[in-house]
Structure 1
Amino acid sequence: MAGPRRYPWARWLYSAALYLLSPLVWRRVWREWVPTHLRRERLGAIVSESGCPRLWLHAASVGEVQAARPLIESLRQRYPRHRLVVTTMTATGAERVKSLFEDEVSHYFVPLDFPGAADRFIARLRPEMALFFETELWPNLLHACHRRGIPVAVVNGRLSAKGLRGYQRVRALMADALGKVDWLAAKSEQDAERFRTLGMPVERTSVVGSLKFDIPLDDATCIDSERLRIERETRPVWIAASTHAGEDEQVLMAHAGLREHHPDALLILVPRHPQRFEEVAALCRRRGERVARRSLDEPVQADTTVYLGDTMGELMALYGTADLAFVGGSLVPIGGHNLLEPASLGVAVLSGPELANFEDVAEVLREAGALIEVADAFALGEALIALMDDPEARHRQGVAGREVIAANQGALQRTLEGLDSFLRK
């Protein structure tokens, strides 16, 4: 069988464009920094790794780190001789790695995809294998791995219809990059077909399912949820999580509509990005809401209308204390966020129509009656009222969500079995 087609000229043009745009690229990542890391990591200038073999996993940001958590924990147990190294693009991703794993894994910022930076990073890290989570395809990093004979896998491979259209504009570049991927573990047949359209070899592609269904639930999360439930007493509570600019306003409008029918209703509002916490707190106050902030350990009083979840790493516990969960990034053109986290806790799930990033998950939940989609703030308010008035319907939807997750688990085991052919235990 003929090997994948190579287009080295496409990567050269891509690299030239990166160099021309480097002032803009560097400005974009300058703010993505934490004090424990030097900014020169962005140029691949890490301390050379030595000693035990290394396994490298790249996950872009906090959502991907959270989704990769079961895989990271399983890799540590399955390959105890290896040191696991996780890279992220964003500061919030770096902080999430630290909060989840402390010093049990190493963390670096992924280098910018300049040829020299990519080559320097791989030469110093020297991983036994590289794993890229979902759609993180960096041509020069892939080339640097390929040149040194380091096998590469794309795990939980995801490619939306919108993403495919964008990548088709640089089809030769993507074909060259995907030709250096040794194994694609795709979420669905639809995702696999989109990758194949871009040039991913069929014989190196497997459909394993979505890792997002393999959600770990620990006792600490349940304990925190129970404590928060006690604090809220018997008030109706809903959560709007991972919200974006332009979405918080719609959420607050829906909350105002809900409070006309349920005056004691409480909204737990969790913005997606920590740099927006102050902005969202100010927005709530301008709209006349009585706000308690979790970061300040402010208690929920009888007159509190919004509880601002302005901390990191506590979303699951906050989901667990709510009667209903709206998952953000879906009333604005972001593509949605993880619908399965609240569903795994038996919480009824709502979202907006913008679900391109989770279309496969949304379809399964929708067919099972475990997801309600709304078009705008008014429809969200109406749905909240209807569900708050009907505890039995809420319960049915919550049970349906848990059943969907139970029926679709197993991607983690299939992914680990696929990686076994590349790695020595």
Structure 2
Amino acid sequence: MRSLLLRLYGVFTTVVQPLVRRKLRRRAEAEPGYGVAVEERFGHYDEAITGQAQCWVHAVSLGETRAAAILIAELRRQYPGVPILLTHGTATGREEGAKLLEPGDTQVWQPWDTPGAVARFLDRFQPRIGVLMETEVWPEMTAACAERRIPLVLANARLNEKSLAAAERLAWLARPAYSALTAVWAQTEADAHRLVSLGAKVAGIYGNLKFDATPDARQLATASSLRERLPKPMVVLASSRDGEERMLLEVLKRFGATSPVPPEQGAIRSISKRVHDVQWMIVPRHPQRFDEVAALIEAEGFAVARRSTAGQPAEAEIWLGDSLGEMALYYGLADVALLGGSFEPLGGQNLIEPAACGCPVVMGPSTFNFAEAAQLSLAAGASLRVEGMEQAVTAALKLVENPERRAAMAQAALAFSSSNRGAAERTAAAVLAIAQAAEPVTAQGAPVEEAEPARAEPTLD
């Protein structure tokens, strides 16, 4: 029987549905993807959408979807034809997820966490197992799956100290939700300890799925070809977050990147020349900020060339990587990457991706999203940590001017990446074992008799 607090939570999420709809309409004005199939978020589906007894994978946003892509590929390798139900919470996640679909797969929005929307979702799709990626644990969904005996697992699970503190403030919701999960596979031992403190059943420490990603070979080949034509070495601020672009531009201006320096200021002229001798590039983390960052670059007095309009590298002080799905190209072009999200207190973006491309990384002080990976990367000699953006620019310039050290860091990055693989194989095997042991259920949650599978469409029987 559900607790009074969980029932009150269900009342609250139902009451605020009009506000959720309003927020979605506003987001859709800037990002049209949020206006697509809005009713799916409330459990109402087009009749053409079919699919049951699937392996449901929920990846809320872009980063989680890229991790899910690695897991889904391994699931298909171990169980060919496994049908996938893919859900998301953000427009970028849904757009990226659409690239993963094969015949027999289904893609819809994750339902808003109300009793009605969740029930309609589970009635419609009756997943054989649910796989939540990284951090997405919702109280109503976990309770409903437990009542219906649908296994619900948390894969590639991570939980930093900040998120743990927030969960503990809402322990009356968080603890029942985490304890209702069938199994949790943590990225690191520290993540596992924090998850256990919330009642999660941690079944293994499997590492980070993102280590199993293979960079796009065509993009790396294109980058190799373009590098031969670049007149300067390149430094990229990769997956930058709001505030970090301005930091970089202000440092470059302070170092004299936009104005000539009088000859008598010899030391300043020296750093100015070093900055001018590098091609700088910014790749924002979120596509909705591409235009904003382009305007900022121009407002700060720099000439900008955009990937979306220039295509090939153009003459400009700053290049703007305003495209999705081309990070391997950008890392392949770069001699050094400055890690976005680490110069503001945001926990850092994915440092595994540049490592897999053999790109040395300079990171700021904030890397709590990838704390263990950051420490391993530093210990392997694949990255450097600095206190702020000015020190990052200085460190990048030193690496640009020291080809031997840069090459050593590139090799260390590749070794660091390859030595931490294996999470996908372990996770997929565990998911399939639980799914195949689970009883199929009806829309109301009762077990059903299994007949010999006709397999007109593959299911997890």
TM-score for both structures, normalised by structure 1: 0.91
Amino acid at match of 2:325: G
Task: State how far apart, in whole Å, the 1-side matches of 2:105 and 2:222 are.
Answer: 25
| Per-residue CA distance 1:221-262 (angstroms, 9 max, x = gap) | 22232243244x241101111111111101223444395114
> How far apart, CA to CA, are the structure 2 residues paired with 1:334 and 1:24?
27
TM-score (norm 2): 0.85
Question: Matched residue of 2:97: which SS?
Answer: helix
Does residue 296 in structure 1 map to residue 309 in structure 2?
yes
Distance (whole Å) between structure 2 residues aligned to residue 54 and residue 108 of structure 1: 13
Matched position secondary structure for 1:222: helix
2:235 corresponds, among 235, 238, 242, to: 238
Name the aligned partner's letter for residue 309 of structure 2: L
Q: In the TM superposition, what is the alpha-carbon distance from 1:26 to its structure 2 partner?
A: 3.3
Does the 8 A contact of 2:187 with 2:205 survive in 1?
A: yes
Task: Decide which moves more: 316-325 or 414-423.
Answer: 414-423
1:105 CA drift (Å): 4.2
Match of 1:417 in 2: 429
The CA distance in 1 between the partners of 2:313 and 2:355, in whole Å, is 25
Q: Is it true that 1:388 corresponds to 2:400 in the alignment?
A: yes
* 1:41-92 CA distance string (max 9 Å, x none): 1102124665663111011111111122211111233333432121111101
- CA distance in structure 2 between the partners assigned to 1:134 and 1:181 by the alignment: 13
The aligned amino acid for 1:79 is Y
Higher CA-based Rg: 2
Q: What SS class does the counterpart of residue 422 from structure 1 fall into? A: helix
* Residue 283 (structure 2) pairs with residue 270 (structure 1): yes
Q: Give the equivalent residue in structure 1 for 2:294.
A: 281
2:153 partner SS = strand
What residue is the counterpart of 1:326 in the other structure? 338
Alignment-derived partner of residue 390 in structure 2: 378
| Equivalent residue number for residue 119 of structure 1 | 119
Runs of 4+ in 1 over 6 A off after TM superposition: none
Partner of 1:340: 352
Extract unaligned runs of 5+ from structure 1: 1-5
The answer (yes or no) to whether the contact 1:331–1:376 under 8 Å persists in 2 is: yes
Cα displacement string for residues 90-111 of structure 1 (whole angstroms, at most 9, x for unaligned residues): 1011111124557674321111
Retained in 1: the 8 A contact 2:56–2:129?
A: yes
Q: Is the 8 A contact 1:52 1:82 kept in 2?
A: no
Query: Aligned partners of 1:10 and 1:371: how far apart in 2?
Result: 47
Partner Cα separation in structure 1 for residue 17 and residue 102 of structure 2: 33
Which AA in structure 1 matches 2:387? A
Alpha-carbon distance in 2 for matches of 1:106, 1:234:
47
8 Å CA contact 1:255, 1:267 repeated in 2: no
Of 199, 206, 209, the match for 2:207: 209
Mapped to 2, the partners of 1:146 and 1:210 lie a distance apart of 27
Deviation at 1:380, TM superposition (A): 1.6
Q: Is the 8 A contact 2:348 2:367 kept in 1?
A: yes
Partner SS state of residue 408, structure 2: helix
Q: Does the 8 A contact of 1:11 with 1:173 survive in 2? A: yes
Any stretches of 5+ residues in structure 2 without a counterpart?
258-271, 437-459
Identify the match of residue 225 of structure 1 among 191, 214, 223: 223
SS of the aligned residue for 1:212 comes to: helix
CA deviations 1:4-60 (Å, max 9, x no partner) are xx9723322322333444444333334265288311111021246656631110111
- Assess, with a 3 A threshold, how the Cα gap between structure 1 residues 147 and 43 changes in structure 2: closer, same or farther: same
Structure 1 counterpart SS, 2:294: helix
Aligned pairs (5 A) from 1:11-410:
11-30=6-25, 31=27, 34=33, 37-47=36-46, 50=50, 53-101=53-101, 105-201=105-201, 205-231=203-229, 233-256=230-253, 257=255, 259=257, 260=272, 261-301=274-314, 303-410=315-422
Alignment RMSD, CA only?
2.2
